[in-house]
Structure 1
Amino acid sequence: MSSIPRTLAVLVVTAACTVFPTHATDNAAATWKSISDKAQPAAGSAIEINTNYWLAWTGAWDTVIMKEAKLWEKWLPKGSKVNWKRNLQGPPVITDLVANKQQIGYIGDNPAIVATTKQSLAPISIVAVNEMSPGRMCGLIMVRSDAPKFKDYREAVKWLDGKTVGAPKGSCADRLGQHIFKKEGVNVVWQQMQGEVIITSLQAKRIDAAVLYEPHVSKAVFDGHARYAVSPAAYGEQDANAVLMRKDFITAHRPAAVAWLKANIEALYFLRDRPVDTVNFIKRELPDYTRENIWFAIYGRPPEGIGASQTALKAEMVLTQDARALLQRGHDFLRELKVHQEASMHPDALNGELVAQAFKELGLDPTKGLYEIPVSDRNPFKGDDLVTPAQAK
């Protein structure tokens, strides 16, 4: 693995110059430092937690911050231990949660819903939605590099009629892609495959397009294998990542469960307020990605004409009305695919009590999400090199 060329101590200074503007809400006025200053160990005996962190999509990159910065150490009972498992796909997280090999899990919206349908095997609840976006994180449609130039996203969708399109089955990308094509009356030849296979298939010109999530999409674009074509935001859709916990863990260790969510809240403010440090944490885990690419995947502005939103990221945590509505749409979609047979979500599928408590104890408004980050053109990196804010584009 390549080494970091500059120390984080130096980068903290530069990070202060690249803080993103926030919307005027009470929660958005909070800062990483103001939350960090409130940290104190939860009551109770030391515990051991098994959980996972995500690299395969930006919707859970706050877990990388929690792991690398060890934020949980300030919030969990003194002496606690956390074992982190690296995940690239959703199903193994579900398997480990059901088998009690994990007590806390991070997973995309659709797989999270599937996990809550296993109540007879293991009661598992979605306790928070850490990140949402208007199609910036998931469901982006990219076309192969030699596809025609399109005047806008509608022309791109029409071109795809009859073409071969790759998407991971049952994922948020699958749901969003099918929604877009159905709305436009376009029929495509679906190739169900994992993200890494999709990228190599685009590179080899074996498929015409793909519906996928970041950072796979931007990596394919940065490497010259594909182009952005359509954003789900143009169709009023959203994506999300969820935090799951086993019910027996919550019952036995409620103060620690709340403390964990506080650490996650701190990580999300860190992601907003210290973007350079965030990129460097992720670079340690994804050495094949340039820092420029990593930054763009989280904060960058997609090209004009694809119907993208001006919002890059919504840090939620609380189960807002928008989050609940999104999860319900995912539940209905998965039932149509016969992934599960449940007519409605289980009464214990959503548990917003813990995160509401965490918000209140941190002085945050539990009826609102944390903040939104607007898309930006001011990438502080060129390749792997940090440039001055005046040079950033």
Structure 2
Amino acid sequence: MAQQTLSYGKPGEPVKLVVGYQPYYTESWSGVVMRGKKFYEKYLPKGSEVEFQIGLQGSIIVNNMLAGKQHIGYMGDMPAIVSTTKQNVGDVRIVAVLGLGFDQCNIFLARKDAPNFSSPTEALKWLNGKQVAVPKGSCTDRFAQAVFKKVGIQPAAYLNQNIEVITSGFRAGKLDAAVIWEPTASRIVEEGLARRVASGFSVNENDGGFMAMRADLIEQRPDVVKAWLNAELDAQQFLADPKNAKEIIDMAMQQTTGFPREAMARALYGAYPDQGGAQKRFTLPYAFTPEAMNLITKATEFLHEIKTINVNKLRPEAVMPQFTQDILKQRGLTAPIGSVPVLSSDQLAQVSK
């Protein structure tokens, strides 16, 4: 696949954008808000058109961006990093941070008849010699392999399965464990197919969501980049406000299929024992905070170590922090711009209705 340069018109002209996003990944739900509220209409040149395309996992969005079929992508940490290392196919850059947490991507589920573990550490050690599945190439893949290394686990099989196959594997009793992201993790637990036994909180491994853009868009249309990122800031602020909880879950339900409302609400706002009493589901950095940069650095080194990418450090232009920095400055804000709170069980019940 030879690299191609797309044409987006001149600054100020209407633009046609195709946006890949993941309503099935809670940490990138600013994309759900963006599609539902159309904040971009306030900032893009008049007459612009935006098409949203759903990706079931970030690697699908990466492939579409590299092929020039999508121009902006909402994705987890691993696909975002990988996307910037394929510049011989397509030049993609990371331009904003969607969210940082410990249990949006990083959730271990065990089969429902697994032993009652006294701690998440005990649960992780139980995985030794077991059948474990993840969607490879996703943020869960990076997390699972990091945990296996950290805790010294050797599964009998480490299977590459998508979220549908994992769900049916638990249903049929063929899987011992899986690492899965929200809201699928909450749905599988709600359906009684598996139990949540550990997360990134258990091993101090964080996860993240990032926004990527094609370099030809950034080069030709800095006005569009700024417009989209201004709208993204509005979307993250909307996501951070608990007063919007019901409306956010309404939008998530409209943009997905096969998920009970309770699972969607719990995925975004629920509390779990392994969270260690955390009152935030995840933070909304928007810009590249030290935590976000540390995650990118650490994840890049790890992905090189496991031979997923061929560099141990991203090229300097792979991450472009200047746009979000400038917008925060113009709007008198600092990063992180907010966080998604844990709601009380009463509040959660209200949002789930």
Alignment match of 2:295 (pick from 302, 323, 326): 326
Structure 2 portions without partners, runs of 5+: 1-10
Q: 1:188-337 to 2 correspondence within 5 Å?
A: 188-189=155-156, 190-273=158-241, 274-302=244-272, 304-305=273-274, 309-337=278-306
Corresponding letter in the other structure for 1:157: L
Distance 2:308 2:124 in 1: 27
CA gap of 1:382–1:47, structure 2 versus 1, over 3 A, is same
Q: Match of 1:33?
A: none
Residue 340 of structure 2 corresponds to residue 370 of structure 1:
no
Alignment match of 2:24 (pick from 48, 56, 66): 56
1:234 Cα deviation (Å)? 2.1
Corresponding letter in the other structure for 1:150: F
Q: Match of 2:326?
A: 357
1:257 Cα deviation (Å)? 0.6
Alignment match of 1:148 (pick from 110, 115, 120): 115
1:381 Cα deviation (Å)? 5.3
Query: Partner of 2:106: helix, strand, or coil?
Result: strand
Q: Match of 2:143?
A: 176
Identity value in percent: 34
Distance 1:116 1:96 in 2: 13
Q: Match of 2:42?
A: 74
Q: Which deviates more from structure 2 when the two are superposed, residues 186-195 or residues 202-211? A: 186-195
Distance 1:344 1:183 in 2: 21
CA gap of 1:310–1:151, structure 2 versus 1, over 3 A, is farther
Query: Partner of 1:165: helix, strand, or coil?
Result: strand
Distance 2:143 2:326 in 1: 32
Structure 1 portions without partners, runs of 5+: 1-42, 387-393
1:287 Cα deviation (Å)? 4.1
Indicate if the aligned counterparts of 1:163 and 1:188 stay in contact, CA closer than 8 A. Answer: yes
Aligned residue pairs, count: 340
Corresponding letter in the other structure for 1:323: A
Q: Match of 1:34?
A: none
1:336 Cα deviation (Å)? 2.1
Query: Partner of 1:251: helix, strand, or coil?
Result: helix
Task: Note the aligned Cα RMSD (angstroms).
Answer: 1.9
Indicate if the aligned counterparts of 1:168 and 1:192 stay in contact, CA closer than 8 A. Answer: yes
Distance 1:381 1:235 in 2: 27
CA gap of 1:176–1:92, structure 2 versus 1, over 3 A, is closer
Distance 2:40 2:81 in 1: 26
Alignment match of 2:91 (pick from 111, 114, 123): 123
Q: Which deviates more from structure 2 when the two are superposed, residues 44-53 or residues 347-356? A: 44-53
Distance 2:256 2:106 in 1: 22
Distance 2:342 2:65 in 1: 34
Corresponding letter in the other structure for 1:284: Q
Query: Partner of 1:138: helix, strand, or coil?
Result: coil
Q: Deviations over 1:79-130 (max 9, x none)?
A: 1111111111222212221222222111111011111001233221100111
Q: Which deviates more from structure 2 when the two are superposed, residues 369-378 or residues 76-85? A: 369-378
Corresponding letter in the other structure for 1:158: K
Q: Match of 2:132?
A: 165
Distance 2:285 2:305 in 1: 28
Q: 1:77-92 to 2 correspondence within 5 Å?
A: 77-92=45-60
1:369 Cα deviation (Å)? 1.4
1:170 Cα deviation (Å)? 3.0
CA gap of 1:272–1:205, structure 2 versus 1, over 3 A, is same
Indicate if the aligned counterparts of 2:22 and 2:58 stay in contact, CA closer than 8 A. Answer: no
1:205 Cα deviation (Å)? 1.0
Indicate if the aligned counterparts of 1:139 and 1:174 stay in contact, CA closer than 8 A. Answer: no
CA gap of 1:379–1:255, structure 2 versus 1, over 3 A, is farther
Q: Deviations over 1:114-172 (max 9, x none)?
A: 11001233221100111111x22011111111111112112212222211111121322
TM-score, normalized by length of structure 2? 0.91
Distance 2:80 2:206 in 1: 15
Query: Partner of 2:224: helix, strand, or coil?
Result: helix
Query: Partner of 1:376: helix, strand, or coil?
Result: coil
Distance 1:306 1:318 in 2: 25
CA gap of 1:226–1:114, structure 2 versus 1, over 3 A, is same
Distance 2:346 2:75 in 1: 28
1:179 Cα deviation (Å)? 2.1
Corresponding letter in the other structure for 1:265: L
